[in-house]
Amino acid sequence: MLREIAEDIWVAEQPFRYFGLSVGTRMTVIRLANQELAVISPIQVSAALISQLDELGTVGHIIAPNLYHYLFAADFKRAHPTALFWAVPGLEAKKPDLPIDRIIGDEANFLQDGVEFVFFDGFRTLGLAGFEALNECVFFHRASRTLILTDAALNFDESFPVMTQLATRVLGAYKQLSPTLLERIATTEKETVRRSVKNVLSWDFERIIMAHGSLVERHGKEQLQRGYERFLGRPIGTGE
Global confidence as pTM? 0.92
- DSSP for the chain? --EEEETTEEEEEE--EETTEE--EEEEEEE-TTSEEEEES-----HHHHHHHHHH-EEEEEEE-SSSTTTTHHHHHHHSTTSEEEE-TTHHHH-TTS---EETTS-TTTTTTTEEEEE-TT-EEEETTEEEE---EEEEETTTTEEE-SSS-BBB-TTS-HHHHHHHHHHT-BSS-B--HHHHHH---HHHHHHHHHHHHTS---EEE-SSB--B-SSHHHHHHHHHHHHHTS---S--
Would you tell me the crossing angle of helices 220-232 and 190-201 to the nearest 10 degrees? 170
pLDDT at residue number 157: 86
Q: What are phi and psi of 80, to 5 degrees?
A: -135, 75
Which domains does the chain possess? 3-104+111-232 (3.60.15.10)
pLDDT band at 122 (very low <50, low <70, confident <90, very high): confident
pLDDT at residue number 145: 96
- Are β-strands 124-127 and 3-6 bridged in parallel, bridged antiparallel, or unpaired? unpaired
* CA pseudo-torsion sign 89, 141, 176, 211: negative
pLDDT at residue number 182: 76
> Is the pLDDT higher at 201 or at 120?
201
Work out the average pLDDT over 125-145: 85
> Is the pLDDT higher at 78 or at 186?
78
pLDDT band at 240 (very low <50, low <70, confident <90, very high): very low
pLDDT of 63-109, one tens digit each?
A: 999 999 999 999 999 999 999 999 999 999 999 999 999 999 765 55
Residue 200 has pLDDT above 70, yes or no: yes
Q: What are phi and psi of 30, to 5 degrees?
A: -120, 130
